[in-house]
Amino acid sequence: MSDVTAVLLAAGNGTRMKSDLVKVMHPIAGKPMIGHIVDNVRRAGLDDIILVVGYQQERIRAYLGDSVRYAVQAEQLGTGHAVQQAAPLIDEAEGGHVLIMYGDNPFIGPELIQRLIRAHVDAGAAATLLTAEVSNPGMLGRILRDPATGAFLGSVEYKDATPEQRQIREIWPGIVIFRRQGFTSLLGRLDRNNAQREYYLPQAWEILLREGEKVQALLAATEAEALAPNDRVEWARAEAQLRRMINERHMRAGVTIINPDATYIDAEVEIGRDTVIWPFTFLQGRTRIGRNCTIGPMSTIVASTVDDGCVVQQSVVEESYVGPGCRIGPMAHLRPGCELEGEVEVGNYAELKKAKVGRGVKCHHHSYLGDATIGARANIGAGTITANYNGVEKFRTEIGEGAFIGTNVNLIAPISVGDGALVAAGSTVGPRVEIPADALVVERAPVVVKEGRVAKLKAAWRARKEKREGV
């Protein structure tokens, strides 16, 4: 819809959130509220987006970058005043329409936006509001209609409403579309003759109605779509609502979620069909899960790709790639920068960091592989450590294909272990050692056995203790 410019209002602080963070940057399902609104507008087919910013605008600009255009409302003097700041950018195009939305409601989706635009264009209206009936309108403005015909008569802000008008349950949730022609001159006619001493955007359609222009109110939003969160309690409800919607979308696409109320999936996560998600699992950021995986219980996957047929049980995966058929956990931790090829096994309490792991590698039982490259089919024994940091610099460990690293081995980087080599249990090797292919490495101190010494040793210990205690 190239002839529609979207103006999103995001300049306010949102004081009821009681936060040092501007309201529209509070995340819901892993994405700031303003991110949801921008994405919904784009999915509705609108490419020309103007964001009116003010309070903490640097945070918003850092997040959205140059994907939108910006207008600045330095002083917050109402919704009408906010739109006035975008007037020069609105006037850069001719013809078409201007869609205005608040920047804090993630539930007005692309289908609803498209429906509003179609109704507006088909009716040839000067302005079309989206409205909703809600059970508890609170201090929101009310929609006024003709009792006999239901025709739209205007709206009234809560603080300006009579007691009778406050009983009305139809509200405007902050989205309206205007005909572009004459719109910015209409904005110049707004005044501050109201209880708040602010420029109200609703006055714009009041002026149009007085002048006989066609203005309609489309009662099409549900209560769940209409109400934006204003404080922490409402934010928590919104979070639960959006996560329910996300989980239902995945389940309808062929994903099994054992307990949706105990599963937390962010908005940008992708999951393949026939994958099973067990309870208390967190899938965060831009995470992609393949087909036929089993994730959880009690797993956290952050900004990672887990390919088809993987199992991730009671483990944490951060900013990493897990190839097809891998098994992670229980109680494993893949820190950022790991790349695992297919059929890798990472077991109990193993930790990897910036590790490139070849196909079929097995790494179980309390091992740490940091800054390491592991060749295909290598076996990493229990308690193996790649000592990658000397307090000043970090170094890499290279382990060849089919190598066997025994239990409780310390590989002090930089070090390389050739293909098929065997490092015997308990060895400490390196740094700057190059172990050839097929070599056997054994590093152990000689065993010293002193018979009958334990009793003498304990007697000496007791004597020293008694001396210290003055016995």
52-65 residue pLDDT tens: 999 999 999 999 99
Beta bridge partners of 406: none
Do 59 and 136 sit in the same domain of this protein? yes
**Does 314 show up as a binding residue in the annotation?**
no
C-alpha to C-alpha distance for 214 and 87, rounded to whole angstroms: 22
What's the confidence (pLDDT) of residue 471? 61
Owning domain of residue 375: 254-441
Going by pLDDT thresholds of 50, 70 and 90, the confidence category of residue 289 is very high
Do 258 and 168 sit in the same domain of this protein? no
**Does 78 show up as a binding residue in the annotation?**
yes
Do 10 and 123 sit in the same domain of this protein? yes
What is the CATH number for 393? Answer: 2.160.10.10
In the chain, what percentage of residues exceed pLDDT 90?
86
What's the confidence (pLDDT) of residue 38? 97
| Torsion angle in degrees (nearest 10) through CA of 442, 443, 445, 446 | 20
**Does 408 show up as a binding residue in the annotation?**
no
Which sequence positions are flagged as catalytic? Answer: 365
Return the exposure string of 28-56: e unless at least 16 CB atoms fall within 10 Å of the residue's CB, then b.
bbbbbbbbbbbbbbeebebebbbbbbbbb
C-alpha to C-alpha distance for 186 and 90, rounded to whole angstroms: 13
**Does 389 show up as a binding residue in the annotation?**
yes
| Averaged pLDDT, 283-311 | 98
159-175 residue pLDDT tens: 889 999 999 999 999 99
**Does 9 show up as a binding residue in the annotation?**
yes
Of 211, 226, 241, at which residue does a domain stop?
226
Do 320 and 188 sit in the same domain of this protein? no
Do 31 and 98 sit in the same domain of this protein? yes
Do 90 and 14 sit in the same domain of this protein? yes
Do 207 and 60 sit in the same domain of this protein? yes
214-260 residue pLDDT tens: 999 999 999 999 988 889 999 999 999 999 999 999 999 999 999 99
327-344 residue pLDDT tens: 999 999 999 999 999 999
Do 304 and 195 sit in the same domain of this protein? no
What's the confidence (pLDDT) of residue 243? 95
Do 220 and 268 sit in the same domain of this protein? no
**Does 73 show up as a binding residue in the annotation?**
yes
The β-bridge relationship of strands 142-145 and 410-412 is unpaired
Q: Which class for 439: exposed (0-12), middle (13-18), buried (19 or more C-beta within 10 A)?
A: middle
Q: Check pLDDT > 90 for residue 261.
A: yes
Q: How many domains does the chain have?
A: 2
Q: Which class for 193: exposed (0-12), middle (13-18), buried (19 or more C-beta within 10 A)?
A: exposed
In the chain, what percentage of residues exceed pLDDT 70?
100
Do 411 and 319 sit in the same domain of this protein? yes
Do 8 and 133 sit in the same domain of this protein? yes
What's the confidence (pLDDT) of residue 414? 97
Q: Is residue 127 part of a domain?
A: yes
What is the CATH number for 32? Answer: 3.90.550.10
Q: Check pLDDT > 80 for residue 439.
A: yes
Q: Is residue 171 part of a domain?
A: yes
Going by pLDDT thresholds of 50, 70 and 90, the confidence category of residue 470 is confident
Q: Is residue 462 part of a domain?
A: no
**Does 54 show up as a binding residue in the annotation?**
no
pTM (2 d.p.): 0.88
Q: Check pLDDT > 80 for residue 195.
A: no
What's the confidence (pLDDT) of residue 1? 65
446-460 residue pLDDT tens: 888 888 888 888 888
Q: Check pLDDT > 70 for residue 437.
A: yes
Q: Is residue 459 part of a domain?
A: no
| Averaged pLDDT, 168-197 | 92
What's the confidence (pLDDT) of residue 449? 87
**Does 382 show up as a binding residue in the annotation?**
yes
Q: Is residue 243 part of a domain?
A: no
Do 421 and 305 sit in the same domain of this protein? yes
**Does 35 show up as a binding residue in the annotation?**
no
Q: Is residue 150 part of a domain?
A: yes
